[in-house]
Amino acid sequence: MPKLTINIGVLLIILGIFSYILTGAASATALIPSFFGLAFIGLGALGKKNESMRKHAMHAALLLAILGLGGSFGGLINMIGMIGGETPERLGASIGQAVMALICIFFIVAGVKSFIDARKKPAADTAFEDGANN
């Protein structure tokens, strides 16, 4: 999971830079995905480097993804509105937000799956050992 966290961070940094360029460098808010990306990379590196902090770093990364989704969800709604014929006021910003929302959704799903798998693994190992001892 730490490697995925770092990769998501890199994607968000690239998204932020492209958003900033594509919106004509009109506002630094287009770089927000890059700031989230830096935080993801930091948390991924912490989880990769320090085994005892991995669980905490990955939970923090998941919380960061939830916050990122909350902040970028409006862009996803705008893109869905485009299907109905509405044009967002700032198309470039809406596209950037929608992509960030999709990246965050992907990370949340992968993170939750990873946590579920991690919970099942010790339980399955314990059940197997108990059955072998009887």
Give the whole-angstrom CA distance, residue 81 versus residue 89: 12
Burial class (CB in 10 A: 0-12, 13-18, 19+), 71: middle
Rounded to 5 degrees, φ, ψ at 55 are -60, -45
Neighbours of 63 (CB within 10 A): 13
pLDDT in tens, the chain (134 residues): 889 999 999 999 999 999 888 878 777 888 889 999 999 999 999 988 888 888 888 989 999 999 999 988 888 888 878 787 777 777 777 888 888 999 999 999 998 888 888 778 765 554 444 444 44
45-53 contacts, C-beta under 8 A, 24 or more apart: 45/2, 45/6, 46/2, 47/1, 47/2, 47/5, 48/2, 48/3, 48/6
Give the whole-angstrom CA distance, residue 29 versus residue 33: 9
pTM of the predicted model as reported, rounded to 2 decimal places: 0.78
